[in-house]
Amino acid sequence: MGMTIALDAMGGDRAPGIVVDGAALALRERPDLRFLLIGDRARIEPLLVRHRRLSAAVELVHTSEAVAADAKPSLALRQGRQSSMRLAIDAVKDGRAAAAVSAGNTGALMAMSKFVLKTLPGIDRPAIAAVVPARRRPVVMLDLGANVDCTAQHLFEFAVMGEAYARAALGVDRPSVGLLNVGTEDIKGHEAVRDAAALIRDSGLGIDYRGFVEGTDIPEGTVDVVVTDGFTGNVALKVAEGAVRLMASSLGDAFRASLRAKLGYLFVSPALRALRQRFDPRLYNGAMFVGLAGIVVKSHGGTDAIGFSHAIGSAVRLVEEGTNDRITAEMRKIASPGPQLVAASS
């Protein structure tokens, strides 16, 4: 029997519809999957009627409670013990599911996940990691907003976690890692980022560390993993999203600007469709809360069934690639001093 994924059926702008349809799509790709579908039975059951195969692969766990999209994380944590989101995380904790996927309130999901699952040994702070499109090949970025203040040690942990995540998320054997900075010279940036560079270099972990990278390196895809604090990472991701949206809409305006342009559009539209598909955010949907002792994937709240199925796919890959085991093993190497250190202290 295949793995079981716990789904928060009530999270997201168009839940539970996109969750049920997304699970059905994921099942088509991976017929061995099973799901704990957690939420309001009265709203979910009618949706399952359409999906005979999915119904056979689902265990429906009823709860009438759900975390509101605008709920404060601390409040959701205290009052949402019977929410669909919390029960999905609990299922990971209890071993009834290999991973949880939710399109709900990010802050609440992070607060609950930290509280229930705790962090992996050696990890101080979990981070949000995701894959973004780039020129060469997609890039892993973290942290995307879980930690607005970061020390050098946090950035170092993000590098270890991001490297392990990239192996599963990008399917790359030895991902290259860069630290986001305002320039590539060693003297650039603030203390935390300069000290983090030294920690990564001197860790002995064999990370393929390429030094400092700049903002332009993210869309260029110069390295596989871009490590930064949650403040900068969140801003960078949203600026990129906004810039792409501005370009796309300006392009649309240009194609409507004249009869000649409209005519030309008829000819170029298939090529543009291929371009849109390459940058389709649904293909990149599913951010991992890395550093937790359990796999939790956050889907974009506004996604559709296709996007949600990709978030499920991302969770499956993280389980199968043993991403958390890898992070734990790497952090253990640092915790236990190497032979030279033992010799020096004896």
CA angle at 67 for the pair 65 and 68, rounded to the nearest 5°: 120
User: Which of 60, 69, 205, 272: binder of a copy of itself (CB under 8 A)?
Assistant: 272
The DSSP H or E segment spanning 212 is strand 208-213
Buried/exposed 232-268: b ≥16 CB within 10 Å, e otherwise: bbbebbeebeeeeeeeeeeeeeebeeeeeeeeeeeee
- Strand pairing class (208-213; 225-227): unpaired
DSSP 290-324: ETBSSEEEEPPTT--HHHHHHHHHHHHHHHHTTHH
Q: Is 134 in the site for a copy of itself (CB under 8 A)?
A: yes
Dihedral angle, C-alpha 50, 52, 57, 63, nearest 10 °? 40
Distance, CA of 246 to CA of 90 (rounded, Å): 41
Q: Is 215 in the site for a copy of itself (CB under 8 A)?
A: yes
Of the two residues 280 and 321, which places its CB atom closer to a copy of itself in the complex?
A: 280
Give the three-state DSSP class for 110: helix
Q: Is 41 in the site for a copy of itself (CB under 8 A)?
A: no
> 208 — phi, psi (to 5°)?
-80, 75
Q: Is 302 in the site for a copy of itself (CB under 8 A)?
A: no
Q: Is 189 in the site for a copy of itself (CB under 8 A)?
A: yes
- Strand pairing class (176-180; 208-213): parallel
To the nearest whole angstrom, how small is the minimum distance from the Cβ of residue 238 to a copy of itself?
3
To the nearest whole angstrom, how small is the minimum distance from the Cβ of residue 122 to a copy of itself?
25
Q: Is 231 in the site for a copy of itself (CB under 8 A)?
A: yes
Buried/exposed 9-40: b ≥16 CB within 10 Å, e otherwise: bbbbeebbbbbbbbbbbbbeeeeebbbbbbbb
Residues in contact with a copy of itself, counted by CB under 8 A, come to a total of 60
| Token couple for 38 | 């957690």
Buried/exposed 49-60: b ≥16 CB within 10 Å, e otherwise: eebeebbebbeb
Q: Give the helix ranges, DSSP H, for 17-99.
A: 17-29, 41-48, 52-57, 73-79, 84-93
Q: Is 277 in the site for a copy of itself (CB under 8 A)?
A: no
User: Which of 108, 218, 292, 296: binder of a copy of itself (CB under 8 A)?
Assistant: 218
Q: Is 319 in the site for a copy of itself (CB under 8 A)?
A: no
Q: Is 341 in the site for a copy of itself (CB under 8 A)?
A: no
Q: Is 75 in the site for a copy of itself (CB under 8 A)?
A: no
Residues from 146 through 175 that contact a copy of itself (CB under 8 A): 148-149
Of the two residues 267 and 346, which places its CB atom closer to a copy of itself in the complex?
A: 267
8-16, 80-88, 141-149, 298-306 -> range binding a copy of itself (CB under 8 A)? 141-149
Q: Is 214 in the site for a copy of itself (CB under 8 A)?
A: yes
Give the contact letters, 232-271, x = binds to a copy of itself (CB under 8 A), - = no: x-xxxxxxxxxxxxxxxxxx-xxx-xx-xx-xxxxxxxxx
50-58, 90-98, 226-234, 284-292 -> range binding a copy of itself (CB under 8 A)? 226-234
Q: Is 182 in the site for a copy of itself (CB under 8 A)?
A: yes
Of the two residues 42 and 266, which places its CB atom closer to a copy of itself in the complex?
A: 266
Of the two residues 64 and 250, which places its CB atom closer to a copy of itself in the complex?
A: 250
CA angle at 130 for the pair 149 and 96, rounded to the nearest 5°: 100
The DSSP H or E segment spanning 333 is helix 323-335
Q: Is 195 in the site for a copy of itself (CB under 8 A)?
A: no
161-169, 211-219, 289-297, 334-342 -> range binding a copy of itself (CB under 8 A)? 211-219
The residues binding a copy of itself (CB under 8 A) are 134-135, 145, 148-149, 180, 182, 189-191, 214-220, 228, 230-232, 234-251, 253-255, 257-258, 260-261, 263-272, 274-275, 278-279
